[in-house]
Amino acid sequence: MKQVSQRPVLAVDLGGTKIVAAVVTPTGKILPRSSCLTLADKGPAAVIDRLISVAGSAVDRAKLKTADLDGVAIAAAGILDTARGVVTTSPNLPGWRNVHLRDIVAERLNVATCLVNDASVAALGEHRFGVGKGLANLIYLTVSTGIGGGIIVDGKLYEGTDGCAGELGHMVIDAQGPKCNCGNYGCLEVLASGTAMAKEAVSRIRNGGASLMVQLVGGVLDDITAETVATAAREGDLLACQVVNQCAAYLGVGLANLVNIFNPQLIIIGGGVSRMGGMLLRPARKVVKEKAFRLPARTVQIVKSRLGYDAGILGAAAYVHEQKLKETTR
Alpha-carbon 257 to chain mean position? 19
How far, in Å, CA of 258 to CA of 272, rounded?
21
How far, in Å, CA of 254 to CA of 284, rounded?
9
193 dihedral zone (left: phi>0; alpha: psi -120 to 50; beta): beta
Q: Which of 21/147 has CB closer to a second copy?
A: 147
Q: Which of 231/265 has CB closer to a second copy?
A: 265
Taking the complex as a whole, how short is the minimal distance between the CB of residue 264 and a second copy, in angstroms? Answer: 6
Q: Binding a second copy by CB under 8 A: which of 109, 262, 280, 325?
A: 262
Handedness of CA 30, 42, 328, 308 (dihedral sign): positive
Please give the residues from 156 up to 175 whose contact with a second copy meets the rule CB under 8 A: 156, 158-168, 170-175
User: Please, what is the Cα angle at 219 between 145 and 193, to 5 degrees?
Assistant: 15
Size of residue set near a second copy by CB under 8 A: 51
Please give the residues from 44 up to 83 whose contact with a second copy meets the rule CB under 8 A: 79, 81
Q: With binding defined as CB under 8 A, does residue 181 bind a second copy?
A: no
How far, in Å, CA of 244 to CA of 168, rounded?
20
Q: Binding a second copy by CB under 8 A: which of 5, 53, 88, 245?
A: 88
- Asked whether the beta carbons of 143 and 279 are under 8 A apart, the reply is no
Q: With binding defined as CB under 8 A, does residue 293 bind a second copy?
A: yes
Pairing status of strand 266-270 against strand 301-304: parallel
Residue 42's contacts (CB-CB under 8 Å, 6 or more residues apart) are none
Q: With binding defined as CB under 8 A, does residue 250 bind a second copy?
A: yes
Q: Binding a second copy by CB under 8 A: which of 57, 231, 265, 329?
A: 265
Q: Which of 130/169 has CB closer to a second copy?
A: 169
Q: Which residues of the chain form contacts with a second copy (CB under 8 A)?
A: 79, 81, 88-89, 136-137, 149, 151, 153-154, 156, 158-168, 170-177, 182-184, 186, 250, 253, 256-257, 260-265, 291, 293-296, 299-300
